[in-house]
Amino acid sequence: MSADDEASVRSPFVANAGPHPWRRFVAIGDSFTEGVGDPEPNAPGGLRGWADRVAETLSEQVDDFAYANLAIRGKLITQIVAEQVEPALALKPDLITFCAGGNDVIRPGTDPDEIAQQFEDAVVRLSSGGASVVVFTGIDTNFAPVFRQFRGKIAIYNENVRAIAERYDCIVADQWALKEIQDPRFFSDDRLHLNALGHHEVARMVLRALNVPNELRPMQPDPFPITTWRAARASDLVWARTHLMPWVLRRLRHQSSGDHMTAKRPEPLPVITILPGPNPRPAEEL
């Protein structure tokens, strides 16, 4: 089925009849929510990401909007639950995004059902204050040779997440169905984190899940570069040396890329729309 065919069978987008109801948005999670892969020197922590983009759009539509982002890269779900859930609730949000478990699922020997139980315990706490809670499924990694081996575990985890969302009336932001980002051109050089283009598409997906109208348009990546087999393998070796081996060594040493880091936006503050450097042009302008 082509992308156009898939779009035609999606449930139609129905925007909220009036302004959205949220005034205080708190995002928790790991590198995905922190915005790793989407550098922006004018943003807190030097990163933008999908959550900042969502907050920018939400803040433009209502007064007195505030946004905090407690996510820190490399965190496992146990750490996110222990370190971020209660601080998030203390900020008294009416909108919470919670994406966790991805770092756990891609570790050999982990059980997606056990990870999901921790996820559910967190959702019970996050939803106890009456906030709208947005949860995320994991991406379909079938397009990525290195992470394809975890596809089955991710699929099991996703079904657990959907069931939890149903039980606690959460909003599901479905990355598995977001075919647009199942393309290496939407990822940064480390092949693990989304780049600016990928974060933009996730922001569009989250706003769609929230039924919030917006002016974010689909973006078109540059064409795949023409390369030889030898050049591609040389690139793979550089990637393995620069990104894969340090990741493996951190796992062996029980270290995290987020060790000794603090949240980039620990308090709910008004949002200033970031005007980043050049991004790929909207698809309709190509």
Asked if pLDDT for residue 236 goes beyond 80, the answer is: no
60 phi, psi to nearest 5 deg: -75, -15
Question: Residue 26: its pLDDT value, please?
Answer: 98
**Closest residue by Cα to residue 244 from 118, 154, 144:** 144
pLDDT number for residue 249: 61
Radius of gyration of the chain (CA): 18
Answer whether 51's CB lies under 8 Å from 35's CB.
Answer: yes
Instruction: With beta carbons less than 8 A apart as the criterion, state whether 199 and 50 touch.
Output: yes
Q: In DSSP terms, which residues pair with 237 in a beta bridge? A: none
Residue 126 Cα distances to 96, 119, 170, 251, angstroms: 8, 10, 10, 29
- Mean pLDDT check: name the lowest of 142-146, 164-168, 220-224: 220-224
Q: Contact 199/71 with Cβ under 8 angstroms? A: no
CA–CA separation, 110 vs 160, rounded Å? Answer: 15
The dihedral region occupied by 45, where left means phi > 0, alpha psi between -120 and 50, and beta the remainder, is: left
The model's pLDDT over 106-143, given as tens digits with 9 standing for 90+, comes to: 988 999 999 999 999 999 999 998 999 999 999 999 99
What would the mean pLDDT of 7-31 be, rounded to a whole number? 77
Please report the sign of the dihedral spanned by the C-alpha atoms of residue 7, residue 211, residue 217, residue 276. Answer: negative
Q: What structural domains and CATH numbers belong to the chain?
A: 18-219+230-270 (3.40.50.1110)
Beta-carbon contacts of residue 90 (< 8 Å; ≥ 6 apart): none
Buried b (16+ CB within 10 A) or exposed e, 226-258: eeeeeeeeeeeeeeeeebbeeeeeeeeeeebbb
The tens digit of pLDDT for each residue in 41-52 reads 988 889 999 999
Distance CA 3, CA 155 (A): 21
Which structure tokens are listed for 13? 């987008």
Q: What is the mean pLDDT of residues 91-104?
A: 97
Phi, then psi, of 99 in degrees rounded to 5: -125, 115
Closest to 54 measured CA to CA, from 219, 211, 261:
211
pTM score of the predicted model: 0.83
Q: What strands, in cross-sheet order, belong to the sheet with 171-173?
A: 171-173, 132-136, 95-99, 24-29, 66-69, 265-269
The one-letter amino acid code at 161 reads V
- 115 close to 105: Cβ distance less than 8 angstroms: yes
